[in-house]
A and B are shown apart, each in its own frame.
Chain A
Amino acid sequence: MYELSLIALITPLIVGLLAGFVGSRINKSFTHWMTTLGIFISFAISCWILIEIFLNPGLLLNQNIYEWMSIAGFNFKAGILVDNLTASMMVVVTFISLMVHIYSIGYMRDDPGYHRFFCYISLFTFAMLLLVISNNLLQLFFGWEGVGLMSYLLIGFWYKKESAIKANFKAFIINRVGDMGLILGIAVIFSVIGSLDYQMIFDSSTELVNTKITIINDYSVSGITLACLLLFIGAMGKSAQMPLHVWLPDSMEGPTPISALIHAATMVTAGVYMVARMSPLFELSSMALSVVLIVGATTAICSGLLGIVQFDIKRIIAYSTISQLGYMIVAAGVSAYSASIFHLMTHAFFKSLLFLAAGSVIIALHHEQDIRKMGGLRQYMPITYIAALIGSLSLIGFPGFAGFFSKDALIEAVAHSSNLGSEFAYYCVLIGVVITALYTFRFLFVVFHGDSRYKGDNQIKESSWVILIPLILLSIPSIIIAWPTLGILVFGDFFSNSIQQMSSYELFGYKYQSPLNFLIHAFSGPVIYLSLIGIITAWVCYIKMPHFPEKISNKFAIIYKVLVNKYYFDYFYEKVVAKNTTKLGLVFWNFGDIKIIDDFLVNGTAIRIQKLSTISKKLQSGYIYHYALMMVIGLSLFLAWIIIN
């Protein structure tokens, strides 16, 4: 299994590099066949590994590949950890990547950067696999940075567009802020425990608990709380929690396939994955868990509200992603890591399905993204419509679909938790259910129902099969994947050797028997009814009385303004943070660089040498007696030296 997992890891790298360097010389067909084949190999191996793990429970591979660096007694190794959590993530990542590869063949057909695109997404897959497959924090960080880099390159893929460049800067910088927290967290762990290996960290986690780290003079926190909080800041940056969420809507500047791949299914889930992976640590610090909980809940509800007022089709789905990530983080905050990971997996399927469907719409309307200019696409693009419908139903938690099970399990765990802040989180997620249903069906009704408002002169027709096949292939898991896996993954102990969490009865307050049982049980909870309220509201607003939303927005104009301005987060970041940082940078440049280094040190050295030489030039006066005087002075110095010695 070791060699196979290595092959699964390295293949995307190789095909990505080949596509990037060689693909443009050969032709498009070579590029897309090769990369798709490479990702398919990775996917097949991941599936095989997962099946192996299913068949042999307790199978675990934790092996170091080579020693990377050895400094002062600390050994940093590169290694692989393949356990249940890793295998599940690998399957999800490679599957979505495969779908996106196939989809991009059609979507990017006319794009001049075709080969570059495939190179980037293959390399991204490699980085993400590296992240999930690593067995120490350093390699995780390497993969973390790798996905951040590829995200930057892909958001700014159309680099001639200025908004795309701004967006990719924004993404990278905000990611960096999160990464700072991650690095500090890793540093805290390293300084206390002395190793970055997962196994060693988990074994010596009590050391972290007992260490008290002083921040300011008298105020000290336990080492574990500090480490967990810092690690969570990294997760906030990567998984777009508030206040570091502002990059994700702007990242929609990139092509739709990568919105599906990166910003729905894989990269943004790296934060959630990291929290789940570090669950033994998080379990030891209740304060960190409460922080996680509250941040996730706030994000879930606030970004959901933003999704209602957006007019760009991709931005609606982007805010939905942020909201769902909030849900996942909330689940982690109540220690229900298995529910969190399960929601991650189902979300990957239905969210990427939604993105790809949106991409299909965009392409069919020739890159039109404003939903006010769409409508009634149901009759022109039936398959896309059905795919979007399936994705939406899964998203809102319609009974029977995959999203329903994961969301419901999650909400049950929140309801049953006793962590500090869990009540607040419970109300947030419940309201979030309504809001999710509202914006999702708003999206569906406005785009696909009603009258056609498209003013373009081309005929709208269904997209080519290359685009439709991934949609169909993604719809299937969106519906059915929960039925076989719910019991094992969420309520069972599938993840027991990777995640540390309490038994399912303690966690969920529900004795699990079968998915059907769970389904019926859910009817006794508020979730289904809340989502129904949301659907009805959306129907009323956008089908029955289309002028109703406008009237409401006029009535609550202030709230509307706040929402449209995205709670003024962007305003704050731009006007306060960025402006002052730029000023600071200018000060450093003008004063520090130009004045001190250029003028004083570099030019100054030259000028001083010149002045010195002008003075010492006078020694060569041409007069013999001056030379004689110099000789005599030298003689006197020499004699003085002899006397002193």
Chain B
Amino acid sequence: MLTLQPYLTLAAIVFGIGVMGIIINRKNIIILLMCTELLLLAVNFNFIAFSYFNQDITGQIFVFFILTVAAAEAAIGLAILVVLYRNKNSIDVQKLQTLRE
């Protein structure tokens, strides 16, 4: 049987990849949203692992809700993206600078 640690390590690695993706991404916003999905996936992993190892169903319930919210958030994020594209005609992250000092 596997111990808990490989699962958590795996989740940590995926989380790290997601974070790096957000930072080094300069091409387009869709990648940004996909990296957000990756982060959420890593967190879900953690919950499921703990739920299995503590024999507590609460972890899976939480994942349930996280999935719900993630879906809603993806939808809204894409809607915003569409409107952004309509206004700026591009989805380059580097052009989104209007809030600068």
Report A's interface with B, CB cutoff 8 A.
617-618, 620-625, 628-629, 632
Contact = CB atoms under 8 A, between A and B. Distances in A.
Contact of B23 (A621, A622, A628): A628
Contacts of B26: 625
B97 A623 contact: yes
A27 to B, nearest CB: 72
The 6 closest A-B pairs by CB, nearest first: A622-B100, A620-B101, A622-B97, A622-B99, A628-B22, A617-B101
Contact of A624 (B19, B24, B96, B101): B96
Contacts of B22: 625, 628
B94 interface: yes
Contacts of B23: 625, 628-629, 632
A24 to B, nearest CB: 63
A621 B98 CA distance: 9
A625 B25 contact: yes
B32 interface: yes
B79 interface: no
A625 B29 CA distance: 11
Contacts of B93: 623-625
A624 B98 contact: no
Contacts of B32: 624
Interface of B: 19, 22-26, 32, 93-94, 96-101
Contacts of A622: 96-101
A628 B97 CA distance: 14
A625 to B, nearest CB: 5
A438 B86 CA distance: 115
A622 B93 CA distance: 10
A623 B19 CA distance: 15
Contacts of A632: 19, 23
Nearest to B98: A622
B101 A623 contact: no
A204 B83 CA distance: 97
B97 A621 contact: yes
Given A623-B96, A625-B24, A625-B26, 9 more contacts: A620-B99, A620-B101, A621-B100, A622-B96, A623-B100, A624-B96, A625-B23, A625-B25, A625-B93
Nearest to A630: B23
Nearest to B100: A622
12 contacts: A617-B101, A621-B97, A621-B100, A621-B101, A622-B96, A623-B93, A623-B97, A624-B93, A624-B96, A625-B26, A628-B22, A629-B23
Nearest to B94: A623
Nearest to B97: A622
Contacts of A621: 97, 100-101
Nearest to A636: B19
A629 B98 CA distance: 19
Contacts of A617: 101
Nearest to A617: B101
A632 B15 CA distance: 11
Most buried by A among B32, B96, B101: B101
Nearest to B20: A632
A632 B97 CA distance: 20
A128 B23 CA distance: 83
A617 B23 CA distance: 20
Contacts of A625: 22-26, 93
Contacts of B24: 625
Nearest to A616: B101
Contacts of A620: 99-101
A629 B99 CA distance: 17
Contacts of B19: 628, 632
Contacts of A623: 93-94, 96-97, 100
A470 to B, nearest CB: 82
A422 to B, nearest CB: 87
Contacts of A624: 32, 93, 96
A43 to B, nearest CB: 80
B62 to A, nearest CB: 21
A620 B97 CA distance: 10
A632 B23 CA distance: 9
Contacts of A629: 23
A60 B25 CA distance: 98
A466 B23 CA distance: 100
Nearest to A625: B23
A183 to B, nearest CB: 59
Nearest to A621: B100
A618 B97 CA distance: 13
Contacts of B100: 620-623
A622 to B, nearest CB: 3
Nearest to B22: A628
A497 B38 CA distance: 103
Contacts of B25: 625
B21 to A, nearest CB: 10
A617 B100 CA distance: 9
A621 B99 CA distance: 8
A623 B100 CA distance: 8
Contacts of B98: 622
Contacts of B96: 622-624
